[in-house]
Amino acid sequence: MDKSFLQIDYSGWWILLILVVAAALSYFLYSKKDVPWNATQNWALATVRFLAITSLLLLFLTPSLRQITNYVDKPVVAIALDNSQSVVARGAGAANLTRSFQNLKEALQNQGLEPLMITFNDSDSFNVSTSNLSNLIKKVEEATENQHLAGIVLASDGIYNRGSSPVYKNHISPFFTVGLGDSIPPKDISISRTLYNKITYKGNETPIRLEISQEGYDNKLVNVELREKGQLIGEKSIRLRSSIQEVEFVLKSENEGLRHLVATIPENPEESTTENNRSNIFMEVIDARQRVLIVANSPHPDIKAIRNTLASTGNYQTDLYIPEIHDEKPNEIYDVVIFHGAFTSGISYSPKENPGKWYILSNESSVTSSNKSLPYLKIERRGSQPDKVVGSFNQNFSKFKIEDVSAFEEYPPIQVPFGEYTITGPTEILMYQKLGSVTTQKPLMAIYDDGATKSAVLVGQNIWQWKLQEAAINDNSNQFDNLITKTVQFLSVKNDKKQFRFTIRKRNLTDAEPPHFDVEVYNDIYERIYNNEISISITSEENVSENFNFTDSEYNSTFRAPTFPSGIYQYTAQVKVGDKTLTDRGEFSVQNINPEFLNLTADHQLLKNLAQKTGGSFVHLNELDQLPRIIEEKEFKAKIRSEEELIPLYKAWWWYLIIFMLFSTEWFLRKYWGGY
């Protein structure tokens, strides 16, 4: 404890009153003249009594003891070790690397520093199948958020196949980079890239282009094979005349469903690795894409954000109609119509049949018109000024599943009409309006489904900012894309009366993703029922089946299967309702995405640039023993951090000891001087 004093929240007059009361009581007791002690002793006893009473009465003012504690934080040097597969793919020993960096950690400890080892997956095994150096650095910064981070040792081969380059981001701490791997290109032939449409249409011809990269095999003749279910369906021979060449196959898809193709190059002598001689290709063959029309009163960034998201799935064809720009109204039949800037004077379009509709309101939207057109949402506007709100996900929303909903509250606020909102009918709120830290009961986005008509309403625009911010923070906009595609998917699906639905959430998976299936079971009058025993069988391309059992409940209607190796899988689920056995079927693909072996040439220049930009240094792995000296020359100093704490005085045991000692001292002196 460096410094402490009392803090009292009451007026100083109360302290004065306590002093007066303590003095009066002491005077009353020791003002008598017939005592066996002299005047000096009498003053001493009165003073002790005054201090004891004052100490006791002070407790009634609930004072607090302000305590300031100083802590010494040692400089932390984080060792960010790239433990991806590419680091050891060319013969570097994983055990030797681990031992070298443990020695570095001990050397830094001996210098009075606090070393912290961090890897991609918190393991010392070099088995990570992707390299995202920006995420590794972000992990370091999060782990040392409340510590004195002096510097970061980044040991890597400089190869990243996910995220962005760490050189282009601003960093506060200096980087001491260690070059792993080999910057000399290895002797190798690989399928470095496959280009094809992941979704194709039944009866269409689909081109598949393979990029063949080579180093050290100039003028060699190689065969490139394309197989499906073990059968050879295409073969081409090429002579390697440059570092990268392209081979194209054209296939026709006759049947609807998933296709698994394998492109291979035979193993060649002296290749550094053969892991990159094979590439899996997964295609989904469908009958036709669903059609989405966006109707708007003027161009807007939201439109591009929505169209880009839908286009990235390959499942939707989006058309745009702006009356002031396009002369003719669309005459086709659409699955979904999105009205951007709905209920404004510039929009006049009536879709054919009964597509799903999504209304996105703007500041110019007429609340009166929306109240007339949307029977399930009434807005009683108050004033002309809008509210600025963010979205708060409704945890009870059940129309479709959205993962990691916390991202919604981090999105930039959007403007919505200020007023009272009323939701009626078969409507579910997807997001509430959150104003500051308060989540209201007003809807930001709601979904309507009466069994015959589906629609959605978002009461504000400028959602393009959501996509932009998420991409800036996470290097992707997965949550925004998920919200858009799930909404459009729900609106486009026609209602059916199947009593049993066993639906996979994501049809194309990686081998690191477990399949999730949503379960819905209904009785004969189409009421949702639970506690059903469901039998599940998942069969691989090799006709090997795995069987599972699952019982759904009101609180858990999602079956999570284990992860599967690469391939196409068929699933069958059965449930008994009454005396009927209901069955649902489907398929999904699992792809082994491992880009680690596509590029084995270390990029030490990236590491040098990062070190130079941040004021650090670069060393090769064989110079690692010099790094402690280089870091020591930076003379990182410890930081003194102070923490202040208020401790209620009535919780301080020693204060009661002081009171006890004062009264005890008075009693002892009175007895000693003949007062008892």
Query: What topology does CATH give the domain 290-492?
Result: Rossmann fold (3.40.50)
The structure tokens listed for 80 are 């960010």
Architecture of domain 75-184+601-637: 3-Layer(aba) Sandwich (3.40)
pLDDT score, position 547 = 96
Q: Which residue has the tokens 């704490």?
A: 645
pLDDT for 672 beyond 90: no
440-493 confidence digits (pLDDT tens): 999 999 999 987 889 999 999 999 999 999 888 888 888 999 899 989 988 987
pLDDT for 5 beyond 80: no
DSSP designation for 562: P
- Residue 615 amino acid letter: G
| Nearest of 128, 121, 123, 116 to residue 173 by alpha carbon | 116
DSSP designation for 488: H
Average pLDDT (256-280) is 88
Architecture of domain 500-591: Sandwich (2.60)
For the chain, give the percent of residues with pLDDT over 90.
Answer: 52
Residue 234: pLDDT band by 50, 70, 90 thresholds? very high
Q: Which residue has the tokens 């960096």?
A: 101
Average pLDDT (352-363) is 89
The DSSP bridge pattern shows strands 500-504 and 516-521 to be antiparallel
Identical topology for domains 75-184+601-637 and 500-591: no
pLDDT for 288 beyond 80: no
- The whole-angstrom separation of Cα 611 and Cα 154 is 9
Q: How far is CA 255 from the centre of its chain?
A: 38
pLDDT score, position 606 = 95
- The whole-angstrom separation of Cα 334 and Cα 346 is 21
- The whole-angstrom separation of Cα 639 and Cα 633 is 18
On average, the pLDDT of the chain sits at 89
Average pLDDT (213-232) is 92
Residue 583: pLDDT band by 50, 70, 90 thresholds? very high
Question: What superfamily would CATH give domain 188-286?
Answer: Immunoglobulins (2.60.40.10)
Angle at 29 between CA 25 and CA 33, to 5 degrees: 140
Q: Which DSSP helix (H) or strand (E) runs through 18?
A: helix 12-30
Cβ 53 vs Cβ 30: under 8 Å: no
Average pLDDT (267-284) is 87
Cβ 568 vs Cβ 260: under 8 Å: yes
Q: Which residue has the tokens 């992941």?
A: 198
Query: Which 3 state secondary structure label does DSSP give 590?
Result: strand
Average pLDDT (196-211) is 85
pLDDT score, position 605 = 95
pLDDT for 1 beyond 50: no
pLDDT score, position 231 = 92
User: Given its phi and psi angles, is residue 137 left (phi above 0), alpha (psi -120 to 50 degrees) or beta?
Assistant: alpha
pLDDT for 503 beyond 60: yes
Task: Using only the alpha carbons of the chain, give its radius of gyration.
Answer: 36
- Residue 91 amino acid letter: G
pLDDT score, position 676 = 57
So where are the chain's domains?
3-70+644-672, 75-184+601-637, 188-286, 290-492, 500-591
- The whole-angstrom separation of Cα 6 and Cα 395 is 47
- The whole-angstrom separation of Cα 555 and Cα 532 is 13
Cβ 419 vs Cβ 381: under 8 Å: yes
- The whole-angstrom separation of Cα 458 and Cα 358 is 8
- Burial profile 441-462: b = 16 or more Cβ within 10 angstroms, e = fewer: ebbbbbbbbeeeebbbbbbbbb
pLDDT for 141 beyond 60: yes
